[in-house]
Amino acid sequence: QQQVKQSPQSLIVQKGGISIINCAYENTAFDYFPWYQQFPGKGPALLIAIRPDVSEKKEGRFTISFNKSAKQFSLHIMDSQPGDSATYFCAAGPKETSGSRLTFGEGTQLTVNP
């Protein structure tokens, strides 16, 4: 019940295209849904996060869509750029500990071709 399932495992997109990464969770106690971005040789860094009281959150070219009834959330990267090439992790955390005890998805390696 603690799992977070992420797909696809890898994704290749042309420059200017839309990248979409999906995640599904089981535990209804999860209350915080962040996305982390990781470049080679670096640790993950918070990209964008959402709480289930809203269905969508947008920051620049990055948007999280959240479907509470389906227990699914997704990351959309509009106008994808080669600099977006990285590994993306979705995660989920329970309300009482917010961002501290996160369960991570398996990761998606995104490649944006020029």
Is residue 102 a contact point for other proteins (CB under 8 A)?
A: yes
| Sign of CA pseudo-dihedral 32, 38, 42, 47 | negative
Q: Which stretch binds other proteins (CB under 8 A): 13-21, 36-44, 58-66, 72-80?
A: 36-44
The residue within the footprint of other proteins, chosen from 32, 62, 66, 73 (CB under 8 A), is 32
Tell me the closest approach of the beta carbon of residue 31 to other proteins, in angstroms.
11
Is residue 95 a contact point for other proteins (CB under 8 A)?
A: no
Q: How many positions of this chain bind other proteins (CB under 8 A)?
A: 24
Q: How far apart are CA 31 and CA 8, in angstroms?
A: 23
Is residue 7 packed enough to be buried (19+ CB in 10 Å), middle (13-18) or exposed (0-12)?
Answer: middle
List C-alpha distances in Å: 62 to 33, 56, 78, 101: 14, 11, 7, 24
- Name the β-bridge partners of 30: 94
Tell me the closest approach of the beta carbon of residue 25 to other proteins, in angstroms.
13
- Footprint of other proteins on this chain (CB under 8 A)? 4, 6, 9, 32, 34, 36, 41-46, 49, 51, 89, 98-102, 104-107
